[in-house]
Structures are given as C-alpha cells and as structure tokens.
Structure 1
Amino acid sequence: MKYLSTLLKNGFSLIVTASTLFYTNAAFAAQRVVFTYGAFQQSLPVDELVTFAKTGETSSSIRYYLDQTRQDPQSIRNALTREFNVTPVTLDRTLNSRIGLYLLDQISYSIRTRSNQANRQALRSSLVLSASKDNKISLIEVIQNYPTSDVIVEGERILRTYNQLSLIAEDIERIFGIPTSLR
C-alpha cells in the first residue's frame, strides 16, 4: 500500500510537472539572457548566445561582454554546450529529492528570474524540459528553456554552475544507479 501511495505521488508529480512544462514552454521561453559580472551587466538575445555556443561566432554584444569581463570564449562555450545524459523521469525524481532541492537552490544563485522569485521552480522546469527533448541537458538548453522572457545569469558563477549540473548528474547515478555520462 505504501509503495502504491509513493508511486501515485511520484507519478502525479511528474504529470503535473510535464503538463506545466509543455504549457509554459509554448507560452514562455527566454528571449534575453542578462549576464551580470560584478557591477557590469549585459543583455543579449538568447539566439545570439545559442549561435555563439554552437558555432563560436561572436556578435558585437558577445565580443563586448567577453572583452569587458576578460572571459575565455572557449571556456564559456564548453560550459554552455557540455551535455549530461539523463531521462526526464529520473531528473524529476532527483530534483524533487532533498539533494535535488538543495542543488536547485544553489544553481539558482547563478541562473535566476529577474524578480528573483520562484527560481527553484523555473530552474526545475527548464531542466526537465531540456531533458525531455533528447534525454540530455546542457547549460545553453537550460537558458533557452527558461520559462521567463529574461533569464539572469551570474557570469562569475557560470563555470561553478556547470560543476553543479555535473553534481546533479553524479547524484542521479549514485542514488538511482542510472549512468549519466558527460559528453
């Protein structure tokens, strides 16, 4: 009976999350990423960031940001495009665990809403939606699928955020025994 109750609870949670994800994705997706780096702030269209991540082509806005912050373009591209293999169901279960909630809160210091409210929920939504397409997540997909028009990314923390995503993948493997290799 307890098993059935847990199964129903987890199934209901996944259905609600998936329904919300698909509904919100149709209505909202990040249009702009606002990078902050200390007191410096730069707003970029998500499309430009996607082009940079995939091809290395830098728009004048991205070049300006990289110059001002003295960031290595290749390191940023690597952090944006590194993929983690994970199924949406496993990811949802992990993100709803105590460890997952902690990691969501930690990552939300780096990727957040403009209002700095409901960061955990927005990030969870973006992560699960990213995994639902191809059983993989990457930082660029998380930014693209963020369910608000603007997503704030703390530039000083972007590499740390990558490492935190890596921890989620390791936790999934450790807790559920499901391989989540990095590509």
Structure 2
Amino acid sequence: MQHRFSLPSQAISAQAQPLQSQAIAIPQSSHSPWHKTLEFALAVATGTAIACLALMPKASALEALELNYGSMFKLDLPLSELETFAKTGKASDNLQLLLDVSKTKPAMAQQLLSKEMAVDSALAKRMLDSYLGEVLLKEMGSVVKPEAGREPWKDIRTAMVTASTDQKLSAIEVLNAYGPAKLSINGEKAMAIFGRMMSDFGDIQKLLGVKSLEDVTGALCPPKR
C-alpha cells in the first residue's frame, strides 16, 4: 500500500515503511581546474550535480527535474525553484524535502548550483570533443532516463558548450541550457558515479603526469596545424 503526501506543487509517493535514506557524501575536490570541472559536471547530472550563460529559448528548454532516490522517493522539482535557490539560498518546500532526505547541507547545494568557473570556451569544447570527454559525458548521461530518440550525453554536451560561450560556467546555467523539457535523474547512481569519476581522474593524472585541464586537453587533442 502506498501513501501520498501533498506539497504545494507536488505529490510524493512513498511506501508505507519508514523511508531509509543515506547521507550523500560529496567528495572534496582538489584545487585543479579539471577537478572543479568534474565536480560541476556531475552536479548537473544529479540535479544537485552536480549544474550561467547563453540560455536556450524557454519554449524548448528544461522546465523541471525528476529526482529518484531508490524505489521509495521520487520528486518533480521545477527549474524555477532551483534558480531561486541558487540566487537567494531560499529553498522551496519541495527542495527542502530533497535536502532533508539526502542530508545535504543547503549551503553546499547552493554552492554547487551557483558557483561560476572561468573557462576558455574553445578549450572546453575541445575537451568535450575528446575521447576522454565523451567517456565522461556518457558516464553522466547514464544517470539520466532518456527520452525517446535522444541520447542524454549529447544533450549534456550541447548544454555545456552553450553555457560556456561567455567564458564562465555554472551548474544552474547549464541546466537552463539543457534542451529537453524534463530531466529525470537517478540520484543514488549519480552520486556513486561521481565518487568513481573523481577517483578515476586521480589515477589518470598520475598515469599521464598532468595537473590541469589544459594539460589533459593538450595531450588528448593537440591544436590542428
């Protein structure tokens, strides 16, 4: 038997037994530009999520995120509520419920959404076009429930390229640039992939002997002559 709880703009389904939630551990990133890029990119994918720039027309842009944590928790969150939270730190009832269930500190979530990184748009595009970039994008896309006829990793790539055109990048503006109207995310899987990607990149750095995004991109896709 299921119970439904009413919220201002959302009905949330839950099984009768108490909700078993786990704290979402967000790994600490290093100060390298590449680690900051990974932190940002996955924040987008998870809707936390990791997630400022040239926005796509609202008629075809993202309107809401559907967040799933296991089989017992599902929440539709309008993008407008995330935008307000990113700007003001004030969480809607729905968003506050998500923060409580995931045991995520509001200040951390706001920072993940709103923090801007200075980027070279041409360099970012080269990185995303590289083999490693495609691997990372497909990892991010694997936490997204695809719409018919679409490949999520390509939509993520397009949003990130669009969002970097003014040489800055933040999660909330990448979400604004995301094409499909709805983004359905598996939150548990997203956080697991985030942790694994951070660990994997540390191994890649040691293997290649690189420390920055510029070093990685230069090694993978040198400028054409």
Q: TM-score, structure 1 length as denominator?
A: 0.69
Of residues 33, 43, 55, the one that matches 2:88 is 55
Mapped contact 2:89–2:110 kept (Cα < 8 A): yes
* Distance verdict in 2 for CA 1:66–1:175, change over 3 Å: closer
Provide the aligned C-alpha RMSD in A: 3.0
**Gapped runs of 5+ residues in structure 2?**
1-53, 202-210, 219-225
Which structure's CA Rg is the greater one? Answer: 2
User: 2:143 & 2:149 partners in 1: Cα distance?
Assistant: 11
Report the counterpart of residue 103 of structure 1 in structure 2. 136
Report the counterpart of residue 9 of structure 1 in structure 2. none
Of residues 103, 116, 120, the one that matches 1:83 is 116
Aligned pair 1:172/2:213, yes or no?
A: yes
User: 1:69 & 1:99 partners in 2: Cα distance?
Assistant: 30
Report the counterpart of residue 70 of structure 2 in structure 1. 38
Q: Deviations over 1:14-45 (max 9, x none)?
A: xxxxxxxx8x9335110111122222111111
* Distance verdict in 2 for CA 1:99–1:37, change over 3 Å: same
Tell me the SS of whatever aligns to 1:143: helix
User: 2:177 & 2:215 partners in 1: Cα distance?
Assistant: 27
* Distance verdict in 2 for CA 1:90–1:125, change over 3 Å: same
Paired residue type of 1:35: L
**Gapped runs of 5+ residues in structure 1?**
1-21, 178-183
Report the counterpart of residue 43 of structure 2 in structure 1. none
Identical residues among aligned pairs (%): 27
Aligned pair 1:144/2:185, yes or no?
A: no
Which has a greater percent of helix?
Answer: 1
Q: Deviations over 1:130-172 (max 9, x none)?
A: 111x21112222222110101123334359659969x7xx763
* Distance verdict in 2 for CA 1:65–1:150, change over 3 Å: same
Q: TM-score, structure 2 length as denominator?
A: 0.57
